[in-house]
Structure 1
């Protein structure tokens, strides 16, 4: 089963649009972009995404990418 990554279009000013493009190439992921993830303003405060419905955030888009990759590895190891 593929890991679902969800991004908020309003969060792109942090550079999340670029990491979203990189993650679209990841074979274990399905990447979606929505106009709003109902984070109630979170998109203006920090780069973030949802990984299988769980919020992953970081200080920069680059750090978010690394955090998402770690979370993907965690999910894969949990699913054996």
Structure 2
């Protein structure tokens, strides 16, 4: 299953619209834009997304891109460890 990266349309003034376009072109990520993600404080202050439901935020879009990649890898590592544990049961 691909990781899901959710964008808020109201956050696009930070430049996240370009990042959304990049991730939409990536077949290994499901990038989705919503009108509102309900995180207005984060939305107003800095670029942010939800990666599989977890907030990932940064000062710049470039930093956000790196944090998204790190979050996806970290979440996948946790899922792999959980799957291994369940297989061993």
Same fold (TM > 0.5): yes
Counterpart of 2:22 in structure 1 is 22
Question: Which is higher, the Rg of structure 1 or of structure 2?
Answer: 2
Distance 2:25 2:79 in 1: 21
- 2:55 is aligned with 1:59: no
* Greater strand proportion: 1
Counterpart of 1:3 in structure 2 is 3
Q: Please list every run of 5 or more consecutive structure 1 residues that lacks an aligned counterpart in the other structure.
A: none
Deviation of 1:51 after TM superposition, in Å, equals 0.3
Counterpart of 1:38 in structure 2 is 38
Given the two structures, how large is their TM-score scaled by the length of structure 2? 0.82
Provide the secondary structure at the position in 2 that maps to 1:26: coil
Give the number of aligned pairs.
80
Given the two structures, how large is their TM-score scaled by the length of structure 1? 0.91
Distance 2:40 2:8 in 1: 11
